[in-house]
Protein backbone atom coordinates (compact mmCIF):
# COMPACT_ATOMS: atom_id res chain seq x y z
CA UNK A 1 0.00 0.00 0.00
CA UNK A 2 2.90 2.35 0.81
CA UNK A 3 4.34 1.80 -2.69
CA UNK A 4 0.98 2.63 -4.27
CA UNK A 5 0.80 5.90 -2.29
CA UNK A 6 4.30 6.85 -3.49
CA UNK A 7 3.28 6.16 -7.10
CA UNK A 8 0.15 8.31 -6.73
CA UNK A 9 2.17 11.13 -5.15
CA UNK A 10 4.61 11.11 -8.10
CA UNK A 11 1.74 11.17 -10.58
CA UNK A 12 0.04 14.13 -8.90
CA UNK A 13 3.39 15.94 -8.67
CA UNK A 14 3.63 15.56 -12.45
CA UNK A 15 0.10 16.94 -12.87
CA UNK A 16 1.03 19.90 -10.63
CA UNK A 17 3.97 20.56 -12.97
CA UNK A 18 1.49 20.77 -15.83
CA UNK A 19 -0.43 23.59 -14.24
CA UNK A 20 2.76 25.51 -13.51
CA UNK A 21 4.08 25.45 -17.07
CA UNK A 22 2.25 27.36 -19.77
CA UNK A 23 5.01 28.90 -21.86
CA UNK A 24 4.04 27.67 -25.32
CA UNK A 25 1.34 29.16 -27.53
CA UNK A 26 -0.72 26.06 -26.79
CA UNK A 27 -1.86 25.72 -23.20
CA UNK A 28 -0.96 22.55 -21.33
CA UNK A 29 -2.38 19.51 -23.09
CA UNK A 30 -4.22 16.49 -21.74
CA UNK A 31 -5.02 13.43 -23.82
CA UNK A 32 -5.59 9.72 -24.15
CA UNK A 33 -3.31 7.21 -25.83
CA UNK A 34 -3.17 3.51 -26.48
CA UNK A 35 -1.62 0.94 -28.72
CA UNK A 36 0.30 -2.24 -29.26
CA UNK A 37 2.91 -3.84 -26.96
CA UNK A 38 5.67 -6.31 -27.77
CA UNK A 39 7.04 -7.39 -24.41
CA UNK A 40 9.74 -9.80 -23.29
CA UNK A 41 12.01 -10.41 -20.30
CA UNK A 42 15.79 -10.44 -20.27
CA UNK A 43 16.92 -13.36 -18.09
CA UNK A 44 20.28 -12.99 -16.30
CA UNK A 45 21.72 -10.91 -19.15
CA UNK A 46 21.75 -14.02 -21.37
CA UNK A 47 19.16 -12.84 -23.89
CA UNK A 48 15.46 -12.21 -24.17
CA UNK A 49 12.52 -14.56 -24.08
CA UNK A 50 9.93 -14.70 -26.83
CA UNK A 51 7.57 -11.74 -27.04
CA UNK A 52 4.04 -11.44 -25.72
CA UNK A 53 1.70 -9.46 -28.01
CA UNK A 54 -0.67 -7.23 -26.05
CA UNK A 55 -1.76 -3.60 -25.58
CA UNK A 56 -1.52 -0.48 -23.42
CA UNK A 57 -3.92 2.38 -22.74
CA UNK A 58 -3.79 5.48 -20.58
CA UNK A 59 -3.86 9.24 -20.07
CA UNK A 60 -1.16 11.85 -20.46
CA UNK A 61 -0.59 15.51 -19.79
CA UNK A 62 2.00 17.63 -21.56
CA UNK A 63 3.29 21.04 -20.60
CA UNK A 64 5.82 23.13 -22.53
CA UNK A 65 8.81 24.92 -21.07
CA UNK A 66 9.26 26.65 -24.45
CA UNK A 67 8.74 25.81 -28.14
CA UNK A 68 11.25 22.96 -28.05
CA UNK A 69 10.95 21.21 -24.68
CA UNK A 70 8.10 19.78 -22.64
CA UNK A 71 7.40 17.39 -19.79
CA UNK A 72 4.78 14.65 -20.06
CA UNK A 73 3.59 12.58 -17.08
CA UNK A 74 1.38 9.59 -17.90
CA UNK A 75 -0.86 7.06 -16.17
CA UNK A 76 -0.95 3.84 -18.16
CA UNK A 77 -2.31 0.29 -17.96
CA UNK A 78 0.16 -1.97 -19.77
CA UNK A 79 -0.12 -5.68 -20.54
CA UNK A 80 3.40 -7.13 -20.48
CA UNK A 81 5.05 -10.50 -19.91
CA UNK A 82 6.81 -13.03 -22.09
CA UNK A 83 6.62 -16.34 -23.95
CA UNK A 84 8.92 -19.36 -23.78
CA UNK A 85 8.40 -22.03 -26.40
CA UNK A 86 10.30 -25.07 -27.64
CA UNK A 87 9.57 -28.56 -28.94
CA UNK A 88 8.02 -29.44 -25.55
CA UNK A 89 5.35 -26.75 -25.73
CA UNK A 90 4.67 -23.11 -24.95
CA UNK A 91 4.57 -21.16 -21.68
CA UNK A 92 3.10 -17.63 -21.48
CA UNK A 93 3.59 -15.39 -18.46
CA UNK A 94 1.11 -12.51 -18.36
CA UNK A 95 2.37 -9.58 -16.27
CA UNK A 96 0.14 -6.51 -16.25
CA UNK A 97 1.18 -3.18 -14.73
CA UNK A 98 -0.08 0.27 -13.85
CA UNK A 99 2.83 2.40 -15.09
CA UNK A 100 3.75 6.02 -14.41
CA UNK A 101 6.20 7.31 -17.04
CA UNK A 102 7.55 10.85 -16.73
CA UNK A 103 8.94 11.87 -20.12
CA UNK A 104 11.11 14.82 -21.09
CA UNK A 105 10.31 15.61 -24.73
CA UNK A 106 12.36 17.59 -27.24
CA UNK A 107 10.92 19.01 -30.47
CA UNK A 108 13.78 19.65 -32.94
CA UNK A 109 11.04 20.61 -35.43
CA UNK A 110 7.37 21.40 -34.80
CA UNK A 111 5.82 18.02 -35.55
CA UNK A 112 8.57 15.59 -34.53
CA UNK A 113 9.64 14.73 -30.99
CA UNK A 114 12.25 12.70 -29.13
CA UNK A 115 11.60 11.60 -25.56
CA UNK A 116 13.39 10.06 -22.59
CA UNK A 117 12.42 9.55 -18.98
CA UNK A 118 12.01 7.28 -15.95
CA UNK A 119 9.09 4.97 -15.30
CA UNK A 120 7.82 3.17 -12.24
CA UNK A 121 5.20 0.45 -12.37
CA UNK A 122 2.98 -1.52 -10.02
CA UNK A 123 2.24 -5.17 -10.91
CA UNK A 124 -1.54 -5.61 -10.67
CA UNK A 125 -2.11 -9.00 -12.34
CA UNK A 126 -0.21 -12.10 -13.35
CA UNK A 127 -1.20 -15.42 -14.85
CA UNK A 128 0.69 -18.42 -16.20
CA UNK A 129 -0.64 -20.20 -19.28
CA UNK A 130 0.53 -23.57 -20.60
CA UNK A 131 -0.49 -25.11 -23.89
CA UNK A 132 -2.02 -28.58 -23.69
CA UNK A 133 1.22 -30.46 -24.34
CA UNK A 134 3.58 -28.19 -22.42
CA UNK A 135 6.08 -29.68 -19.99
CA UNK A 136 8.46 -26.70 -20.01
CA UNK A 137 7.53 -26.03 -16.38
CA UNK A 138 5.38 -27.77 -13.82
CA UNK A 139 1.87 -26.71 -14.82
CA UNK A 140 0.95 -26.11 -11.17
CA UNK A 141 3.89 -23.74 -10.70
CA UNK A 142 3.09 -20.07 -10.08
CA UNK A 143 5.62 -17.29 -10.62
CA UNK A 144 4.83 -14.32 -8.39
CA UNK A 145 6.32 -11.05 -9.69
CA UNK A 146 7.74 -8.28 -7.53
CA UNK A 147 5.10 -5.60 -6.99
CA UNK A 148 7.34 -2.70 -8.04
CA UNK A 149 9.07 -2.30 -11.40
CA UNK A 150 11.18 0.61 -12.64
CA UNK A 151 13.27 1.55 -15.63
CA UNK A 152 13.93 4.09 -18.37
CA UNK A 153 11.99 4.85 -21.56
CA UNK A 154 13.33 6.10 -24.90
CA UNK A 155 11.10 7.11 -27.79
CA UNK A 156 10.23 9.26 -30.77
CA UNK A 157 7.15 10.21 -32.72
CA UNK A 158 5.13 12.63 -34.78
CA UNK A 159 2.27 14.91 -33.76
CA UNK A 160 -0.15 16.66 -36.10
CA UNK A 161 -1.36 20.24 -35.71
CA UNK A 162 -4.79 18.96 -34.61
CA UNK A 163 -3.29 16.94 -31.73
CA UNK A 164 -3.10 13.39 -33.03
CA UNK A 165 0.22 11.67 -32.32
CA UNK A 166 2.00 8.52 -33.43
CA UNK A 167 4.86 7.29 -31.29
CA UNK A 168 7.22 4.41 -30.62
CA UNK A 169 8.84 3.82 -27.24
CA UNK A 170 11.25 1.28 -25.76
CA UNK A 171 11.14 0.46 -22.05
CA UNK A 172 14.41 -0.75 -20.57
CA UNK A 173 13.46 -2.34 -17.25
CA UNK A 174 16.00 -2.10 -14.43
CA UNK A 175 14.09 -3.73 -11.56
CA UNK A 176 13.98 -7.51 -11.18
CA UNK A 177 10.70 -9.06 -12.24
CA UNK A 178 11.07 -11.87 -9.66
CA UNK A 179 12.84 -12.17 -6.30
CA UNK A 180 15.29 -14.79 -7.56
CA UNK A 181 17.74 -14.17 -10.38
CA UNK A 182 18.06 -11.15 -12.66
CA UNK A 183 15.08 -10.62 -14.95
CA UNK A 184 14.17 -7.23 -16.41
CA UNK A 185 11.23 -6.18 -18.54
CA UNK A 186 11.81 -5.15 -22.15
CA UNK A 187 8.83 -3.55 -23.90
CA UNK A 188 8.28 -1.97 -27.32
CA UNK A 189 5.20 0.26 -27.44
CA UNK A 190 3.54 1.62 -30.59
CA UNK A 191 1.02 4.31 -29.63
CA UNK A 192 -1.73 6.46 -31.08
CA UNK A 193 -2.68 9.51 -28.99
CA UNK A 194 -5.38 12.18 -29.10
CA UNK A 195 -5.37 15.52 -27.28
CA UNK A 196 -8.59 16.51 -25.51
Dump pLDDT digits (tens) for 32-88.
Answer: 999 999 999 998 777 899 999 999 999 999 999 998 999 999 999 999 999 988 777
- pLDDT of 89: 79
> Model's pTM, two decimal places?
0.82
Q: Which of 106, 4, 97, 1 minimizes the C-alpha distance to 64?
A: 106
Is residue 18 classed as helix, strand or coil in its secondary structure?
Answer: helix
DSSP letter at 55?
A: E
Check whether 15 has a pLDDT greater than 50: no
Check whether 23 has a pLDDT greater than 50: no
Contact predicate 148/119, CB 8 Å: no
Is residue 144 classed as helix, strand or coil in its secondary structure?
Answer: coil
Check whether 13 has a pLDDT greater than 90: no
Q: What is the mean pLDDT of residues 133-160?
A: 83
User: Average pLDDT of the chain?
Assistant: 86
Segment (H or E) for 138: none
DSSP letter at 160?
A: -
- pLDDT of 91: 85
- pLDDT of 184: 95
- pLDDT of 44: 79
User: If pLDDT is split at 50, 70 and 90, which confidence band does 174 have?
Assistant: very high
Residue 150 burial (CB < 10 Å; 0-12/13-18/19+)?
middle
Q: What is the mean pLDDT of residues 138-144?
A: 67
Q: What is the mean pLDDT of residues 113-138?
A: 84
Q: For the chain, what are the domain ranges? A: 2-195
- pLDDT of 20: 41
Q: Which of 121, 143, 120 minimizes the C-alpha distance to 130?
A: 143
The residue that leads in pLDDT, 8 or 92, is 92
CATH topology of domain 2-195: Porin (2.40.160)
Amino acid sequence: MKTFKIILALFFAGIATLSAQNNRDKVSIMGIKGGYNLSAVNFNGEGETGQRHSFHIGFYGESFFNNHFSIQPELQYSQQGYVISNANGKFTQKLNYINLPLMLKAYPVNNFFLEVGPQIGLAVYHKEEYDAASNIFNSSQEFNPNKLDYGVNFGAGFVTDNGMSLGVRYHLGMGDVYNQGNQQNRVWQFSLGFDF
